[in-house]
Chain A
Amino acid sequence: MHTSSKLKKEFFKKWMQGLQICCSSKKQMNIMERKKKIKLSSDIAMASAKMTPTSWSNALISNAKKCEQDTVLVDKLIGPQSQLKLQKTSNKMISFHNRVQCKKVLKRSCNYAAKKTKRMGDSRKNLATIIAKRLVKKRTKVLKRLVPGGESLDEFSLIKEALDYILSLKVQVDVMRSVVNATEVVLNGDNLMKSV
Chain B
Amino acid sequence: MSSRRSRQSSNGASRITDDQIIQLLSKLQQLVPEIRNRRSNKASASKVLQETCNYVRSLHREVDDLSDRLSHLLSTIDAESPEASIIQSLIM
Q: Which residues of A contact B (CB under 8 A)?
A: 16, 19-20, 23-24, 31-32, 34-36, 38-39, 42-43, 96, 129, 132-133, 135-136, 139-140, 142-143, 146-147, 154-157, 159-160, 162-163, 165-167, 169-170, 172-173, 176-177, 179-180, 183-184, 186-187, 189-190, 194
Chain A's interface: helix, strand, loop or mixed, by majority?
helix
Question: B50, A139: Cβ atoms under 8 Å?
Answer: yes
Question: Could you list some 17 contacts between A and B, CB below 8 A?
Answer: A19-B91, A39-B63, A132-B1, A133-B2, A135-B46, A139-B46, A143-B53, A143-B56, A156-B16, A159-B21, A159-B28, A169-B63, A172-B63, A173-B63, A176-B67, A183-B70, A187-B84
Considering the chains assembled together, what is the distance between the CA atoms of A163 and B44 in angstroms? 17
Considering the chains assembled together, what is the distance between the CA atoms of A183 and B71 in angstroms? 11
Known interface pairs A136-B49, A143-B49. Does A165 touch B56 (Cβ–Cβ under 8 Å)? yes
Question: B59, A163: Cβ atoms under 8 Å?
Answer: no
Question: A186, B75: Cβ atoms under 8 Å?
Answer: no
Known interface pairs A143-B52, A163-B24, A187-B84. Does A39 touch B59 (Cβ–Cβ under 8 Å)? no
Q: Which B residues are in CB contact (< 8 Å) with A16?
A: 90-91
Question: A39, B67: Cβ atoms under 8 Å?
Answer: yes
Question: B52, A162: Cβ atoms under 8 Å?
Answer: yes
Contact of A183 among B9, B20, B31, B87 (CB under 8 A): B87
Minimal Cβ-Cβ distance residue in A for B83:
A190
Question: A139, B63: Cβ atoms under 8 Å?
Answer: no
**From residue 52 to 67 of chain B, which have CB atoms closer than 8 A to chain A?**
52-53, 55-57, 59-60, 62-64, 66-67
Query: Apart from A163-B24, A172-B63, A183-B87, what 10 extra A-B contacts exist at CB < 8 Å?
Result: A20-B92, A39-B63, A132-B45, A146-B56, A156-B24, A159-B21, A166-B55, A166-B56, A173-B62, A176-B66
Question: B28, A189: Cβ atoms under 8 Å?
Answer: no
Considering the chains assembled together, what is the distance between the CA atoms of A181 and B21 in angstroms? 39
Residue among B2, B50, B53 having the largest count of chain A Cβ atoms under 10 Å: B53
Minimal Cβ-Cβ distance residue in B for A36:
B67
Q: Which A residues are in CB contact (< 8 Å) with B83?
A: 186-187, 189-190
Check B42 for interface membership: any CB of A closer than 8 A: no
Question: A180, B69: Cβ atoms under 8 Å?
Answer: yes
Residue among A142, A159, A184 having the largest count of chain B Cβ atoms under 10 Å: A159
Cβ contacts B67-92/A at 8 Å (1 or 0 each): 11111111111100101101100111
